[in-house]
Structure 1
Amino acid sequence: MNFTFATLNLLNYVAPPNACYEFHNIYDSEQWQKKQQWIAKQIEQVRPDIIAFQEVFSSEELKQQVLKLGYPHFATVTDPTIEEEYLYTAPVVAIASRYPLDEVCAVDYPSNLTQNQQDYRRQPLRATITLPELGTIDVYIVHFKSQRPMDNALNLESNDTTSLDQWQQACVGRWLSTIQRGWECHLLYHSIIERKKQTAHPVVLMGDFNQSLANSELAALNIHAHPRTDEPTQIAPYQLIDAGAIWFHEEPWSRPATHYHGAKGNVLDYILLSWELHGSSDFPRAELIHYQVLDKHLVNPNFDDDAYASDHAVVSLTLKATL
């Protein structure tokens, strides 16, 4: 059997009359309908079995939308932050599945770590799912801290700041964002390892990493960044590999960007697999048979279709069960 996984940052999925981030950031009924139509079109094109969503403010509306598309199993693990009654300021991640969710939980702070940093800005989600022939797997969904500078990093009064103050604040704020993103990455990976030590479940990790996997703050999830070890057979089951790197191995320059900042494209959205799911183990449970990036709305948009599209591509892959 084949199973398709997909991840999509929805970009401000907030149903009117609510707003997100700014009081004026509200869709009218026509705009909201167009946004939902765009999302439905992407899902129908990819037809995934399991979907990871980021940037979700209106969870119930998303649940109802994907139910109509054939996904009866939907979950989040926390609620978005609301200020001023209708202004949402912090989104959540979500999962939709054609298959039942055996267990869904938040990925909490590991109990065996000394807490000396902040917890997650956006709570990751773990869903345990049993798939025919493939067996029981753990699916993690994440949305790491953005590259946007931390607010008021130097604790300055806004009415007294100079241009130099603002520049200093931005520099410190960007560095604090990098630290937060790196800390979230290491917290998550530590939790994945601890869970797998207990269950031995294969792992699929999907989401918006908000940085290239090659960057140092995401080194925990980058198999190529790990130092050599004298016990590779013991470490290998706990390492995750970028499915896109496998797919574009022969032509890495041809890998499409998943997000653009101006004219510069970056790969920010990933699906990572544990060794049982990509053929590296002695007895793999699956092989990667397809990988795609839906990016037409980013590289060649049509206003009528894409006016309320996401600013991220849809990333998906298909696994074929081998057992």
Structure 2
Amino acid sequence: MNVRIGTFNVLNLARPGERYYPDEAPYSVAEYEEKAAWTAGQLRRMAADLVGFQEVFHEEALRDVCGRSGRFDGATVVAPGADGVSGPRLGLATRLPLAEPVSTVVDFPDGLDAVVDGVGLPVGTFSRPVLRARVVLDPALDTPATVFVAHLKSKRPIRDPQAPEHDPREEALGKARALVRRAAEAAALRFLVLDEVVGNARPAFVLGDLNDAARAVSTDIVMGDAPSRSWPRAAADRRAYWDRLLYSTYEMNARRVGRDISYTHVFNGHYETLDHVLVSQEFHDRNPDRIGEVSTLRYFNDHLFDSQLGDERRGRVVSDHGQVVAEVSLR
């Protein structure tokens, strides 16, 4: 049995006529129809059994595009808190049965009140509440898996509103503030993952826009540290490391095909993979006790273009991110 798991940043999915940001005009009816048709078409191309969404402003709009896709008839489609006034939220559409209700996590878990040189992290909540679901991968075998959908803080600077615009020093400080928040959110997400995977054979996925590359520090925090070839020496200690790791399907795919040709975002001429599907050791092909393995990884990014190469400008009706789908072959 094969299961397809995907992630999709839909870029401000909101109902027509309703302002989603103070400085953004609402979608017209025509714009919304075009955006809904495009989004539904991408969902058909992805052909996923489960998709985690980012930047959902109205749950009703998410239900609409999933319905138009024809992929999620009778499925679960939710976007908790996406009421149009609470900012962008995360969503989930799954044809797989739920083992328990979908929940969200706003506050950081206990133990994240870290102090560095006498200064504590000034962050205690997720900027976009993490969505947590437990689904049944194979109903015939009653195989549950935990799914986290996340959208970590972007690289966009957190600016002091009193600072002069285009001040290079404030731009540097703003990026540092954004990095502190993203790193803190990554550590908090890591704590949530550890609560699910340590000391058991429960599989897990992390889906979402992590706003950095696979080996960026913040993404590395979410995945955890792997043992080296020679350390730790004790087999039990090495197994403990593997038990708590997550693995990047991006890296697994690049290793298998021998080249890296993937990206999910283009900004100022920089091609980056910001959107990820991370899996626990239960899906790693080197694990003799795996319950499945990642067989393929597909990127849907042909709508992205490099604005540095021409005058073409992307409209609001398509996403500024590519979509990612990992296919898992269950044993």
TM-score for the superposition, normalised by structure 2: 0.84
Matched, 1:111 2:117: no
Matched, 1:313 2:319: no
Considering fraction of residues, name the structure with more helix. 1
CA 1:61–1:279 in 2, change beyond 3 Å: closer, same or farther?
same
Matched, 1:273 2:279: yes
- Partners of 1:234 and 1:29 lie apart in 2 by 54
- Residue 118 of structure 2 aligns with which residue? none
Matched, 1:298 2:304: yes
Offset of 1:157 from its aligned partner? 3.1
- Residue 31 of structure 2 aligns with which residue? 31
Cα deviations across residues 234-269 of structure 1 (Å, max 9, x unaligned)? 110110010111111155643321100032210100
Cα deviations across residues 54-78 of structure 1 (Å, max 9, x unaligned)? 0111112212331452422022333
TM-score for the superposition, normalised by structure 1: 0.86
Matched, 1:202 2:203: yes
- Partners of 1:157 and 1:81 lie apart in 2 by 28
CA contact (8 A) 2:150 2:207 kept: yes
- Residue 148 of structure 2 aligns with which residue? 140
Q: Report SS of the residue matched to 2:155.
A: coil
Matched, 1:101 2:98: yes
Offset of 1:33 from its aligned partner? 0.5
Offset of 1:225 from its aligned partner? 7.0
**1:92 counterpart (85, 89, 92):** 89
Cα root mean square deviation, aligned: 2.6
Which AA in structure 2 matches 1:141? Answer: V
- Residue 54 of structure 2 aligns with which residue? 54
CA contact (8 A) 2:15 2:27 kept: yes
Mean alpha-carbon deviation: is it higher for 109-118 or for 197-206?
Answer: 109-118
CA contact (8 A) 2:54 2:208 kept: yes
Offset of 1:310 from its aligned partner? 0.4
Matches within 5 A, 1:229-308: 229-230=232-233, 231-251=237-257, 253-299=259-305, 308=317
CA 1:128–1:223 in 2, change beyond 3 Å: closer, same or farther?
same
Identity of aligned residues (%): 22
- What 5-or-longer segments of structure 1 have no aligned partner? 83-87
- Partners of 2:226 and 2:30 lie apart in 1 by 47
Which AA in structure 2 matches 1:117? Answer: P
- Partners of 1:113 and 1:263 lie apart in 2 by 36
- What 5-or-longer segments of structure 2 have no aligned partner? 115-120
CA 1:306–1:125 in 2, change beyond 3 Å: closer, same or farther?
same
CA 1:252–1:21 in 2, change beyond 3 Å: closer, same or farther?
farther
- Partners of 1:211 and 1:179 lie apart in 2 by 13
CA 1:171–1:289 in 2, change beyond 3 Å: closer, same or farther?
same
CA contact (8 A) 1:214 1:222 kept: no
CA contact (8 A) 1:144 1:185 kept: yes
CA contact (8 A) 2:158 2:175 kept: yes
- Partners of 1:318 and 1:162 lie apart in 2 by 45
Mean alpha-carbon deviation: is it higher for 63-72 or for 180-189?
Answer: 63-72
Which AA in structure 2 matches 1:313? Answer: G
Offset of 1:199 from its aligned partner? 5.7
- Residue 85 of structure 1 aligns with which residue? none
- Partners of 2:240 and 2:108 lie apart in 1 by 25
CA contact (8 A) 2:198 2:243 kept: no
Offset of 1:306 from its aligned partner? 7.7
CA contact (8 A) 2:99 2:136 kept: yes
CA 1:252–1:14 in 2, change beyond 3 Å: closer, same or farther?
farther
Which AA in structure 1 matches 2:96? Answer: Y
Offset of 1:222 from its aligned partner? 4.4
